[in-house]
Chain A
Amino acid sequence: MREKVFGFGPDARLVGIASEPVDRDAAKGRPAMLFANTGISHRVGPFRLNVELARRVAAMGFYGFRFDFSGLGDSRPAEDDRDDYTRAIDEARLAMDLMTKRTGVERFVWFGLCSSADKGHHIALSDPRIVGAVFIDGYANPTAGFKMRHWLRYFQWKRIKVFIRTKLSTLRAKLTAAKPQTPPPYKAIIASPAPEKIGAELKTLADRGVEQLHLFTISTDYVYNYEGQFWDLYPMLRGHERVQTERYPEADHTLSFRSLQLLFIDRVCRWMERF
């Protein structure tokens, strides 16, 4: 495996790094995996997740390409007034054009965590070269099942015990590092569009043949708190062979422990074997 740095796009203002598999001829027939920024963090990803995954998929025989959107990481800002989504779609297109020109690869899988899953959703809808998507902590909305479980958690004896213990500790010490182990009150602070819209769009992708892996960590439990909520949210996707979803209640949003990073990298690599 070797890696190459590319400047691409207008005035070569965008920076990307391709992880090349040993057998580059065979890799031409397989999709390349694309990575970009999560939030304002640069392309290496939280806890270097994108670098590690790009190198792992390269070892499996796929190209990996991680890049910074304009104005983020090492890429220079764009000098126009396009909105974030339009620009992300355009810049992902430039990344795919570059990879096709330099490697011959014509199909792509988007890997997105959080805001990168949001961008990836729009990119996948707009570009038919996207044939797969891994979305971690992507869109989610509360369902009736979510609300019931959310409130029921207040009545778990284990949580009540922790809460009482913490309060007593607070009284004793006035200040304690431990916080009450109760869920925050449910608040409808949902950035996701309506589930009917998202479901229809995901189905459009699935019908187009886009393989999808939707993973959720416990950090979304303010809006997504049980295995199978995905199917209740998007019943039109239930049973669709292209769509898989899993919930990892042991994992936090940025996979801030080594065992979690390896767990998710292994899971994504196993899923990539379908290509």
Chain B
Amino acid sequence: MQASYFGKSEAPLFGVHYPPAKGQKRVGVLLCYPGPEEYMRVHWAYRNLVQQLGRHGFHVFKFDYYGTGDSAGAMGAGDLARWRRDAVTALEELRDLSGVSRLALVGTRLGGAIAATLGEELLRAERPLTIDAMVLWDPVVSGVAYLGELSALQDRRILNSRNPLEQHVNENCPELLGYPLSRQMEQSLRALDLRGQGKSAAMTPARRTIVVGSEELTQYSDLAKRFGEGVETGFVHVGEACFWRVQELLEQAILPSRIVQAVADQLARTCP
């Protein structure tokens, strides 16, 4: 395991590279975190996922987007365009650190949407980057719906609290669940619609795309079909609750062992 800063020196990103525990599968997997509101919740799950992927022989690299975690940037500084560039920079770093030629992506929630929409950014990479496979775990399909979910959680949190939290709401500095929401980020989220972007140049041209859902939502099975035509796609429903929309559990880590197993298994199957 090697933790380091990478990318541009004026705005370095934090990442951790995990070489495989056994064997040398020539595939590197980049883990894309959810947005900051859900970042802390999946940190443990990603730690477990790293171990599972390592046992399958993958190189794994996880990183923090600009303005999140240990990366440079103030809270609320990033937007989706910036985070897509960060993801491609992280793919290049993974390739350079591991020497792998084949790459795969795993993205959770907003990270799933980012992983799925790297098409245009990949074209701008200095050297061609080919994505073998992509596993999207409970991806955000619609940015508008996602903003609505977070706003509803924010409202419920204030309403249900015994503490007078409403006094902290500042209309001039919008925030969602403790994180600033910049106008740029809000606009980029409102423009996000994986169903509308299906098959467009914005979508990541992965050879295989699997959606792993904790809920059996039609938007996930529909999304899997969108990638169609020459792309192996699929939707795997794992009936294990992640509680993304449960206000009382907003600050609890989620440890969905069967989903983590399913993500690792799908990658092992699609990237032999």
Contact = CB atoms under 8 A, between A and B. Distances in A.
A47 B175 contact: no
A41 B40 contact: yes
B149 interface: no
A259 B170 contact: yes
A263 to B, nearest CB: 9
Interface stretch (A97-105, A197-205, A235-243, A248-256): A248-256
Given A48-B75, A73-B43, A7 B167 contact: no
Max chain A C-beta neighbours (<10 A), residue from B75, B162, B251, B253? B162
Contact of B69 (A5, A7, A48, A258): A48
B12 A7 contact: no
A3 B160 contact: no
B20 to A, nearest CB: 16
B183 to A, nearest CB: 15
A248 to B, nearest CB: 11
Given A47-B179, A254-B251, A218 B12 contact: no
B220 interface: no
A47 B43 contact: no
A52 B75 contact: yes
B244 to A, nearest CB: 17
A272 B251 CA distance: 29
Contacts of B156: 177
Interface string A243-275: 000000010101111111100000000000000
A115 interface: no
B173 A250 contact: no
A206 to B, nearest CB: 31
A179 interface: yes
B116 to A, nearest CB: 26
Nearest to A253: B251
A17 interface: yes
A183 B162 contact: yes
Nearest to A217: B163
B198 interface: no
B22 interface: no
Contacts of B68: 48
12 contacts: A3-B5, A3-B72, A7-B2, A17-B70, A41-B43, A47-B179, A48-B69, A74-B16, A177-B159, A178-B160, A250-B167, A256-B165
The 5 closest A-B pairs by CB, nearest first: A257-B168, A256-B178, A47-B178, A5-B3, A258-B175
Interface of B: 1-5, 12, 14, 16, 36, 40, 43-44, 47, 68-70, 72, 75, 156-157, 159-165, 167-170, 173, 175, 177-180, 251, 253
Given A218-B163, A258-B175, 15 more contacts: A3-B5, A3-B12, A3-B70, A17-B14, A41-B43, A47-B179, A48-B36, A48-B69, A252-B161, A252-B165, A256-B178, A258-B168, A258-B179, A258-B180, A261-B178
Interface of A: 3-5, 7, 15, 17, 40-44, 46-48, 51-52, 73-74, 76, 177-179, 181, 183, 218-219, 250, 252, 254-261
